[in-house]
Structure 1
Amino acid sequence: MRVVVAGATGVVGRQAVPLLAAAGHEVVALSRRPGPQRAAGVRTVTVDALDREALAAAVREAAPDAVVHLLTAIPATVDPRKVARDFALTNRLRTEAARTLAEAAKDAGGARFLAQGLAYAYDPAPGAADEDAPFWRRPPKPWAASLEALETLERITAQADGLVLRFGHLYGPGTAFGRDGSGIGQIRARRMPVVGDGSGAFSFTHTRDAATAVVAALAHPEVTGALNIVDDEPALLRDWLPGVAALLGAPAPRKVPTVMARLAAGAWGVAYMTRLRAADNSRAKRALDWAPRHPSWREGFAAELGGRPA
């Protein structure tokens, strides 16, 4: 199968491209800047994803059997008080670029269309959300534009009879929660606190597990809609944050009242720490015959950072 991967040099793309090539696919790797994709069976094409004509031409020239949208432009460090600014470019990639890629896939004879979504946009409620749960009905205002972009991405993908892979909080090489990432740096320096009762529920996804889900999704063209690609063990902030700090040999995180946190991190920062809902991966396991190599954040972070699981 010839597969176009848009966002081939991103944190998931860097993992997915060699896995796709190893699985026997011919990969056309699209990126804004030339990347180190020199594996057998991989051809790199440099293109601006927001240049509609150039992007469509790159896909058309590739004549793919599948198009994989992994484009994001999230800064290495996100300011929770300016999340609308920090996600503005990613929002365009989730809407404008997604539309171009989906149309190009259709023009290529109905190529399979896969897109990277989020598994932590669900409306706050008890328990882990399955894919039928609604997205956040009344999101914090700073995150409203990002949520709207995600909903647009899902509509575009549905219209293309494609599949959205809803990834959880990514960790692994190149991410904020990678060995040298900004989030890990904040934990080491005790600058990431437990806010309020630390009740935000997180579902994590290692970047390699995200990549193996991409490969699995191409092997199951009958699967459409959306699937949660997350690990097996949702974790409350008050549990995983001290656990990761212990792995690092860092001091235990501070505890900060919600009122104080709102002054420092704004409405979205507080909601992120206290109101997120975890996701359930049962449907993805059944539909794709997929399972995470790291079923728990505990052993996954231990493998990534060194140390013993919390």
Structure 2
Amino acid sequence: MRVFVAGATGVIGSRLVPLLLSTGHDVIGLARSSSAGVALEKLGVHVVHADALDHAAMRRAVRVAAPDAVVHLLTSIPARIDPKQMSRDFAQTNRLRAQGTLNLVDAAREAGARRVITQGLAYVYEPNSTGLATEDAPFWHHPPKQFGPVLAALRELEQLTEEAGGLTLRLGHLYGPGTMYAPDGAFARQVQARKVPIIGRGTATFSFTHVDDAAYAIAAALDSKARGALNVVDDEPAKVCEWLPVLARLLNAPQPFHVPEALARLVIGSWGVAYMTRLRGADNANARHALDWHPKYPSWRQGFEAELALGGSAS
């Protein structure tokens, strides 16, 4: 299969591309810089240069590539995010998820691609509900102001994907090489400096996804007829009060202290507090069934241990 990967040099793309090549796919990678293109070419990837936000350029690039499938993994997320300025920090990513998806979907349709796969998020669900969220659960009805534009862009991405007969993989909190949870990642460094407290009772439920598990799910989705959206997360959602002390221990960091919600809100805003106290975990049963997929790391416990116990050398 000829697979056009937009975001081929990103955190997930860098794990997906070698996997696709090793299983016999022809990969066309989208690159904006010559240095990124050179790295892809060394792997055996055919490289095209275009701006994903340029509608005409994307149509030309995908038409020439003539792929069977288009995979959209484009983001532009800063290494360190200020939760009080999330709208600013995610502005470019929101454009890539909205206008970028429209451009890619139009290009894929014109080129005759029969499969479109996009990257969504699995922590978008209405928090005022009990139990793990399936894909039918509603998105957050009244999210904190800073998360509103992010959620709107994700809604648009999923709608465009569905209209194209494609599949959105709602990924959990990504960890592994190149992520903020890696030993050299921004979040890990903050934990080591004891700058990440447990806010309130630490009741936000996180569903984690290792980057390799995300890549394997995308590869499986290429040969699947699944449409709509699927939660691609591990089997053990966990509250912040449970996983954060484990992460600190594996990083040889001091144990996190506790901060009241009201005090934390002054520092990190309403979204920062909601992120650490209100998120709802996701159920992966449908992805397991529809994609015949199961996570390499069923639990974040195993994944964190593999990535962090030896300084990430397990990767």
- Quickly name the TM-score band, shorter chain normalised: over 0.9
- 1: CA distance between counterparts of 2:32 and 2:112? 25
State the secondary structure of the residue aligned to 1:37.
Answer: helix
Pick aligned residue for 2:146 from 138, 142, 145: 142
Which residue of 1 is the match for residue 27 of structure 2? 27
Which residue of 2 is the match for residue 4 of structure 1? 4
Give the TM-score of the pair, scaled to structure 2. 0.95
Q: Which letter does structure 2 place at the counterpart of 1:59?
A: V
State the secondary structure of the residue aligned to 1:226.
Answer: strand
Pick aligned residue for 2:118 from 115, 118, 122: 115
Q: Which letter does structure 2 place at the counterpart of 1:6?
A: A
Pick aligned residue for 1:37 from 37, 40, 45: 40
Pick aligned residue for 2:209 from 183, 205, 208: 205
Report if the CA contact (8 A) 2:70-2:113 is conserved.
Answer: no
Q: CA deviation at 1:31?
A: 2.1
Q: Deviations over 1:232-264 (max 9, x none)?
A: 100100000001001111100010000000000
Report if the CA contact (8 A) 1:248-1:307 is conserved.
Answer: no
Report if the CA contact (8 A) 1:170-1:207 is conserved.
Answer: yes
- 1: CA distance between counterparts of 2:175 and 2:113? 33
Which residue of 1 is the match for residue 218 of structure 2? 214
Q: Which letter does structure 1 place at the counterpart of 2:117?
A: L
- 2: CA distance between counterparts of 1:175 and 1:232? 20
State the secondary structure of the residue aligned to 1:17.
Answer: helix
- 2: CA distance between counterparts of 1:38 and 1:204? 31
Q: CA deviation at 1:41?
A: 4.5
Kindly indicate whether residue 73 of structure 2 is the aligned counterpart of residue 60 of structure 1. no
Q: Which letter does structure 2 place at the counterpart of 1:300?
A: G
State the secondary structure of the residue aligned to 1:73.
Answer: coil
> Is the deviation greater in 178-187 or in 102-111?
102-111
**How many residues end up aligned between the 2 structures?**
307
State the secondary structure of the residue aligned to 1:38.
Answer: helix
- 2: CA distance between counterparts of 1:307 and 1:81? 34
> Is the deviation greater in 27-36 or in 258-267?
27-36
Work out the percentage of aligned pairs sharing the same amino acid: 56
State the secondary structure of the residue aligned to 1:20.
Answer: helix
Report if the CA contact (8 A) 1:190-1:250 is conserved.
Answer: yes
Give the TM-score of the pair, scaled to structure 1. 0.97
Distance 1:307 1:128, change over 3 A: farther
Kindly indicate whether residue 164 of structure 2 is the aligned counterpart of residue 168 of structure 1. no
Kindly indicate whether residue 84 of structure 2 is the aligned counterpart of residue 81 of structure 1. yes
State the secondary structure of the residue aligned to 1:136.
Answer: coil
Q: Deviations over 1:157-178 (max 9, x none)?
A: 0100000010000011111111
State the secondary structure of the residue aligned to 2:188.
Answer: helix
- 2: CA distance between counterparts of 1:67 and 1:269? 34
- Please, which runs of 5 or more residues in structure 1 have no aligned partner? none
Pick aligned residue for 2:72 from 56, 69, 72: 69
Q: CA deviation at 1:39?
A: 5.2
Which residue of 2 is the match for residue 177 of structure 1? 181
Q: Which letter does structure 2 place at the counterpart of 1:16?
A: L
Pick aligned residue for 2:262 from 253, 259, 262: 259
Pick aligned residue for 2:96 from 93, 97, 103: 93
- 2: CA distance between counterparts of 1:286 and 1:298? 23
- 1: CA distance between counterparts of 2:118 and 2:140? 20
Q: CA deviation at 1:17?
A: 0.7
Q: Deviations over 1:85-124 (max 9, x none)?
A: 0000000000001001011111122431000000000110
Q: CA deviation at 1:38?
A: 3.3
Q: CA deviation at 1:46?
A: 2.3
- 2: CA distance between counterparts of 1:41 and 1:3? 13
Which residue of 2 is the match for residue 305 of structure 1? 308
